[in-house]
Structure 1
Amino acid sequence: MKINKLLFILFAGITFLAGCTKDFVEINTNPNASSVASPQSLLAPVLVSTINNNLDRNFRINNELMQVTVTTSDAREFHRYEIKPSESEYMWRVWYSSLTDIRDIYTNAEATRQTGYQTFQGISLILETWVTSLLTDAFGDVPYSNAIEGRKGNTTPYFDKQQDIYTDLFKKLDSANALLSVKVNLPADISNTEPVYGGDAAKWQKFGNSLFLRLLMRVAHKPESNAIEKIKAIVSNPLLYPIIRDSSESAILYFTNKLPYVTRFYNARDFDFNGDKGYSEFFINNLMELQDPRLSRWATEASLGVYGGMQSGYPKGAVPEPQSRLQLSLKTEPLLGNIMNYAELQFILAEAVLRGYINGDAEAYYKKGVIANMEMWGCQVPENYFTKPAASFSGTERELMNKLFLQKYFSLMFTDFQQWYEYRRTGLPELYIGPGLLNGGKMPVRFNYPLIVQSLNKSNYDKAVAGMGGDSVNEKMWWQP
């Protein structure tokens, strides 16, 4: 039987009906038997929904901004740095809807107090941190403290400062670490309702602390965050703060392509998937220079034995001919369910060493990251790969960072907006500059607030905009350098 829930998306100032997808019928509890949805009935649906909606906008927006792909549609101008205000509502609605279910997982686990309830709560805190970080990193100041309170009659929540949000997210991750350190796995009869780690509390704990490092690095340049000290504490104390130790512990929902675990593009026509876009020159040229085996895994040949890319940021009306396109096998690629992988963590640790935050061997972390990502994609690392100038761990600090972030860029393929967030933080990797760029040639650093928020929560919207200095795509948020 299908569970329908009345979800209050307060941030948009509207109330709408939403429910668990019909694909998860078998794992939903009977609403006639209980008024509280069990945590296991909520977890898989919210994971699949969030990841797939992230994928949708990764392909549409992130990949265009970050020169993974280039559209042949002259009307879509993300690659020219134009993001229309209407684009922002989709992810705003998706993320707040997800947060409603994620918070219910925590609350309902406490209410049921079944075996493993504290593990459900730890998972909930990690997922809330993950989704909230996506939200605030896209918009800046957003409703948080009194968000999702429509059931209490609050449909006009205030906007929390991003700094305050991050401070609270760090507390949530510490709480999750404590809850999961008890290492109570989910019972065997419901472990299959948790599609990332099968209910393994220790692996969720490692993911939570690895996510902690991702977010700490994002704000480490802000002294008031105290992030550097926390980075040191996590890395130096693996017993208290275990982190992902190999690729088998990566946080990936592996799509089986059997309902309900199918990718966003499972039923897409081939043309709808790759017919109106091609890979960019930046993407193809860098993989070719590296003689990287991931190239053929991701891209088709433009002609026999030849790969080629399109110019990103081409002038309006001068649409180039697509060359290499996305491999159609990616439509059903299990790895599209990536949330955070081991390779990304290795690049985080390499950067932390280079910046002097921790002690260690930056080159070793860098090489582990490269090898791990290639192997994750089923590729063997060429014997002379790290002797190539483009891959060797040598050069000036800027050159080292550019090589590091180019490899991190590849490790973040198809992972929500992480490439864009990291570029905004570091300006790396060094993208090509297209001749038709709009927005004064400046990479957008945020989304506008949705138009419906401006109209239905105007007082709090006005306060948030005044605090941020405006609501354009160029208004820097707290952590933006």
Structure 2
Amino acid sequence: MAMKILKKLSYLGIVLPMLALSTSCTKDFVEINTNPNASTAASPQSLLAPALVSTINSNLDRCFRINNEFMQVTVTLVDSREFQRYEVRPSESEPLWRNWYLQLTNFRDIYETAEHGQQAGYQTFQGISLILDTWVSSLITDMFGDVPYFESNLGKYGNTTPKFDAQRDIYEDLFRKLDSANVLLSANVNLPSDLASTDPIYGGVANKWRRFGNSLYLRLLMRVAHKSDIDAVSKITQIVSNPSTYPLMASNDDSAVLYFTGSLPYVTQFYNARDYDFNGDKGYSQFFINSLLDLKDPRLPVWATEASLGFYSGMQSGYPKGSVPDRQSTLQLALKTEPRLGNIMNYAELQFILAEAAIKGYITGNADTYYRNGVNASIAFWDKTITNDYFNNPAVNLLETDDQTDQLKKVYLQRYFSMLFTDFQQWYEYRRTNGMLDLYKGPGLLNGGNMPVRLNYPLIVQSLNRANYEDAVARLGGKDDINGKMWWQP
């Protein structure tokens, strides 16, 4: 059973006494062989899908709760829930930290067991492991800043108090891992046919994983391209200029999406939620609805209900305490079981990354071409199409009269919609771009009206790894709060 797969896994070196809680999404996956004469290590194919489903669903849960409120996708009707006012309780960090580090152990174990087993396709499993390790590790450091990384997930070897590594050092190692994954996957060895179904994203096709890994590379390089102490821009240029060495996603078919099927275990976090629990305590924000109306965007009815016959309207984000507004347009109930909620990174996002890189002069490609490719792909991702009239809209078109800031704002807005429901990418990008997305400022905002830039470290870490925690907080300026700027923060 999945409990056996996960036994002996540690949560930053601390054995989880309530590990059973982590198996709710994976209880129906393949059993591990318990032959006492065989290896007790879980095979790569038995770890991959359960870890992916658990990570994505945990991300979805927290995305809807935190990211969507910060980034004015939705506005809560629960007056005491303060995310939309920029106040965060310290307890909010715990679920993310716990799940990410638990599944990071599984993703790293895929590499080790593939390396030792030398089974068919082992190098592909290793490449997949490095990419998913990078994905989850980037989520952790981009959420908290300096975190345990090089010594993390080593509890089974006796390290229960890992040091917190500098975010810059973590990023450099993430880049190393993605380069290694690119080399491993360049062998172009697909998983054997009997194992292909254990990969719910690409069906074991090595080249598609390679394209995702290199596209993820660009996402992370762009996140730190403004830092003078790391030469990310040269690597961006190298990747884009050498497509044979660094192949990238070429279409929506290459998008990294775990498409939920509606059948166990591939069901969304909200599959069994009551309708009210899914959308009864929230509605879409004014920023979200008004932006789609300005764009004349065909995705609006896919995502939102009408507030009244023929009209869409949003709620005020950051409303004063005690002044809960009337709910307007809300989430379509079909989103509860929407297959595309398993998005990790799609082709459209890559095109918007390339558009930004071209606008800033990092690469020589045509920014408008990349941008239009991204818009078309993003809308097609949701099974909608547009005509050229869509680009005749001044709110969409990159005009010759636009300065660089105007062009980037249009790119960022379209990228915002391409990353809808995708973990915390909207928030991370808002922080990276120094708030260039024109979110509305509600009259009830707290925290001095400033968007939080991180979550605090979990309380359990403060208790069980105190010395290393205090060292990390000292590097934040002596205060562990939501305003402590991390290394890449502008």
Quick one: distance in 2 between partners of 1:271 and 1:3? 32
Q: Secondary structure at the match of 2:19?
A: strand
TM-score (norm 1): 0.98
One-letter code aligned to 1:6? K
Q: Which of the residues 396, 400, 405 maps onto 1:398?
A: 405
Quick one: distance in 2 between partners of 1:253 and 1:232? 29
Shift, 1:383, TM fit? 3.6
Q: Which of the residues 172, 180, 190 maps onto 2:195?
A: 190
Structure 1 position 147 matched with structure 2 position 135: no
Alignment partner, residue 110 of structure 2: 105
Q: Is the 8 A contact 1:12 1:453 kept in 2?
A: no
Alignment partner, residue 485 of structure 2: 476
User: What CA RMSD, in Å, does the superposition of the two structures yield over aligned residues?
Assistant: 1.3
Shift, 1:26, TM fit? 5.2
Give the number of aligned pairs. Answer: 481
Q: Is the 8 A contact 1:12 1:452 kept in 2?
A: no
Once the two structures are superposed, the pairs formed by residues 225-244 of structure 1 within 5 Å of their partners are 225-244=230-249
Shift, 1:428, TM fit? 2.6
One-letter code aligned to 1:93? R
Once the two structures are superposed, the pairs formed by residues 234-383 of structure 1 within 5 Å of their partners are 234-383=239-388
Q: Is the 8 A contact 2:2 2:26 kept in 1?
A: no
One-letter code aligned to 2:442? G
| CA deviation string 1:46-83 (max 9, x = no partner) | 00000000000000000000000000000101000111
Quick one: distance in 2 between partners of 1:15 and 1:357? 49
Q: Is the 8 A contact 1:103 1:128 kept in 2?
A: yes
Alignment partner, residue 50 of structure 2: 45
Quick one: distance in 2 between partners of 1:263 and 1:432? 30
One-letter code aligned to 2:482? V
Quick one: distance in 2 between partners of 1:20 and 1:439? 37
Quick one: distance in 1 between partners of 2:349 and 2:294? 22
Alignment partner, residue 472 of structure 2: 464
Structure 1 position 455 matched with structure 2 position 463: yes
Quick one: distance in 1 between partners of 2:52 and 2:194? 19
Structure 1 position 76 matched with structure 2 position 81: yes
| CA deviation string 1:341-384 (max 9, x = no partner) | 00000000000011111111101101110110100101111441
One-letter code aligned to 2:424? F
Q: Which of the residues 1, 7, 10 maps onto 2:9?
A: 7
Alignment partner, residue 118 of structure 1: 123
Q: Is the 8 A contact 2:319 2:442 kept in 1?
A: yes
Unaligned runs of 5+ in 2: none
Shift, 1:16, TM fit? 5.3
One-letter code aligned to 1:434? G
Quick one: distance in 2 between partners of 1:83 and 1:407? 27
In structure 2, do the counterparts of structure 1 residues 396 and 14 end up closer, same or farther at CA, with 3 Å as the change threshold? same
| CA deviation string 1:402-439 (max 9, x = no partner) | 11100000000000000000000101311111100000
TM-score (norm 2): 0.96
Shift, 1:3, TM fit? 4.4
Structure 1 position 212 matched with structure 2 position 204: no
- Percent sequence identity is 64
Quick one: distance in 1 between partners of 2:17 and 2:273? 30
Quick one: distance in 2 between partners of 1:171 and 1:46? 23
One-letter code aligned to 1:464? A
Structure 1 position 180 matched with structure 2 position 182: no
Q: Is the 8 A contact 2:352 2:411 kept in 1?
A: yes
Q: Secondary structure at the match of 2:8?
A: strand
Q: Is the 8 A contact 1:6 1:17 kept in 2?
A: no
Alignment partner, residue 414 of structure 1: 421
Q: Secondary structure at the match of 1:224?
A: coil
Quick one: distance in 2 between partners of 1:58 and 1:381? 28
Quick one: distance in 2 between partners of 1:147 and 1:119? 24
Q: Is the 8 A contact 2:144 2:455 kept in 1?
A: yes
Quick one: distance in 2 between partners of 1:261 and 1:22? 9
Quick one: distance in 2 between partners of 1:12 and 1:464? 19
Q: Is the 8 A contact 2:8 2:15 kept in 1?
A: no
In structure 2, do the counterparts of structure 1 residues 441 and 95 end up closer, same or farther at CA, with 3 Å as the change threshold? same
In structure 2, do the counterparts of structure 1 residues 143 and 16 end up closer, same or farther at CA, with 3 Å as the change threshold? farther
Quick one: distance in 1 between partners of 2:81 and 2:23? 32
Q: Secondary structure at the match of 2:114?
A: helix
Alignment partner, residue 95 of structure 1: 100
Quick one: distance in 2 between partners of 1:358 and 1:134? 26
In structure 2, do the counterparts of structure 1 residues 11 and 57 end up closer, same or farther at CA, with 3 Å as the change threshold? farther
Quick one: distance in 2 between partners of 1:287 and 1:58? 20
Q: Secondary structure at the match of 1:70?
A: strand
